């Protein structure tokens, strides 16, 4: 076989491997590789990790996962009782690696931005350091574009964007002083591809990529890292808690157990692998969301043609099984 034929064979084989992973996998290729061969989860031992939105869903599962690897935790959300429940589960799962003093329950409404600095001081006073801030608190949305009240856009930005940016700025100033640290953002596939009927939500998640993409570039020659997590549909309280078009409303629906969603446990595991390896941006979603994401990012014209053919109803089916 000639040298050129060998190269051709290699390219074809590589395409087959990619295709197989696109069709069967639930992560982008980089995250898949780290998950299979170098998850690095042991590196969390004795790291101090602050998770917002830790009372349920993905944030709760990230906390449970990290506790198994001995990370010291700060758990934040508004529901104090749920946070204590998560704390107790974390201590159990840590199998002796963590004591009650290693997990600080710090109830907070993240939109109360004026209190961020004093919360941050609490964390440093308690643990003497912070290694990783996971900005996970957030709410989605289900609403028709033209019906959305501007108050909803503002509320979504206050929660999903400004609280995240403000808390992260405090953390980054501290990371500058100590010379290292990591900011983690729970974005969404909706932060890459705008999903129909979630305009304010899409905009908040796209804004996070803008803000934190800039931070990553500014810190390129430092030991300060930015990891953006992009899950597709995941089982959680998300749909019930979603914003609607009207200010003050919640969507209120729950998922059906048969929906094509990733479990919050799987999403949290993959998120922890991405965080441990300081990956820049990680996509995680069940088929067919992941190949659709690749197609939309790399072949936008083809992807929009397909969208015109199959319509937004299919998109709704994929997202909410409706």
Ligand X SMILES: NC(=O)c1ccc[n+]([C@@H]2O[C@H](COP(=O)([O-])OP(=O)(O)OC[C@H]3O[C@@H](n4cnc5c(N)ncnc54)[C@H](OP(=O)(O)O)[C@@H]3O)[C@@H](O)[C@H]2O)c1
Among 25, 49, 59, 106, binds ligand X (CB under 6 A): 59
Query: At its nearest, how many Å lie between ligand X and the CB of residue 49?
Result: 15
> Long-range CB contacts (< 8 A, 24+ apart) of 75-78?
75/51, 75/103, 75/104, 75/105, 75/106, 76/50, 76/51, 76/52, 76/106, 76/107, 76/108, 76/110, 76/119, 76/137, 77/52, 77/53, 77/107, 77/108, 77/137, 78/107, 78/108, 78/109
Q: Under rule CB under 6 A, which residues in 183-212 are in contact with ligand X?
A: 186, 188
Structure tokens at 176: 């500058």
Annotation says 201 is catalytic: yes
What is the rounded CA–CA span in Å between residue 305 and residue 37?
37
- Residues 39-58, one symbol each (x = binds ligand X by CB under 6 A, - = not), give -------------xxxxxxx
Select from 12-20, 26-34, 73-81, 269-277 the region that touches ligand X (CB under 6 A).
Answer: 73-81
3-state secondary structure of 95: coil
- Residue closer to ligand X (CB basis): 211 or 238: 238
What would the x/- binding string for ligand X be over residues 213 to 242, using CB under 6 A?
------------------x-xx-xxx--x-
When the beta carbons of 224 and 268 are compared against ligand X, the nearer one is: 268
Minimum distance from residue 107 beta carbon to ligand X (Å):
8
Closest CA to 74 of 61, 87, 65: 87
- In sequence order, the β-bridge partners of residue 304 are none
Per the listing, tokens 């900005």 go with 135
Of positions 49, 130, 137, 148, contacts ligand X by CB under 6 A: 137
- List residues with catalytic annotation: 201
Residues binding ligand X (CB under 6 A) = 52-59, 77-79, 82, 109-111, 136-140, 159, 186, 188, 231, 233-234, 236-238, 241
């Amino acid at each position: 076989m000639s040298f050129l034929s060998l190269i051709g064979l290699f390219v074809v084989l590589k395409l087959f491997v990619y295709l197989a992973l696109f069709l069967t996998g639930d992560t982008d290729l980089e995250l898949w590789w780290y998950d299979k061969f170098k998850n690095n989860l042991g590196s969390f031992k004795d790291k101090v990790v602050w998770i917002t939105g830790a009372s349920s869903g993905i944030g709760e599962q990230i906390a449970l996962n990290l506790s198994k690897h001995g990370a010291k935790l700060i758990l934040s959300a508004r529901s104090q009782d749920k946070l204590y429940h998560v704390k107790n589960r974390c201590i159990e799962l840590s199998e002796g690696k963590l004591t009650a003093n290693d997990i600080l329950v710090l109830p907070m409404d993240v939109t109360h931005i004026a209190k961020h600095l004093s919360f941050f001081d609490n964390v440093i006073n308690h643990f003497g350091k912070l290694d990783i801030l996971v900005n996970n608190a957030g709410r989605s949305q289900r609403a028709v574009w033209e019906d959305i009240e501007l108050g909803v856009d503002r509320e979504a930005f206050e929660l999903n964007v400004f609280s995240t940016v403000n808390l992260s700025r405090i953390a980054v100033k501290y990371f500058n002083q100590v010379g290292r640290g990591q900011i983690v953002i729970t974005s969404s596939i909706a932060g890459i591809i705008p999903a129909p009927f979630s305009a304010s939500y899409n905009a908040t998640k796209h804004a996070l990529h803008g803000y934190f993409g800039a931070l990553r570039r500014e810190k390129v020659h430092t030991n300060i890292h930015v990891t953006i997590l992009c899950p597709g549909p995941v089982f959680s309280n998300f749909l019930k808690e979603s914003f609607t078009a009207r200010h003050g409303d919640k969507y209120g629906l729950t998922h059906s157990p048969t929906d094509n969603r990733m479990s919050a446990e799987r999403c949290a595991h993959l998120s922890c692998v991405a965080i441990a390896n300081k990956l820049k941006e990680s996509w995680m979603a069940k088929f067919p969301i992941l190949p659709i994401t690749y197609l939309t990012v790399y072949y936008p014209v083809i992807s929009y043609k397909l969208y015109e053919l199959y319509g937004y109803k299919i998109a709704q089916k994929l997202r909410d099984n409706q």
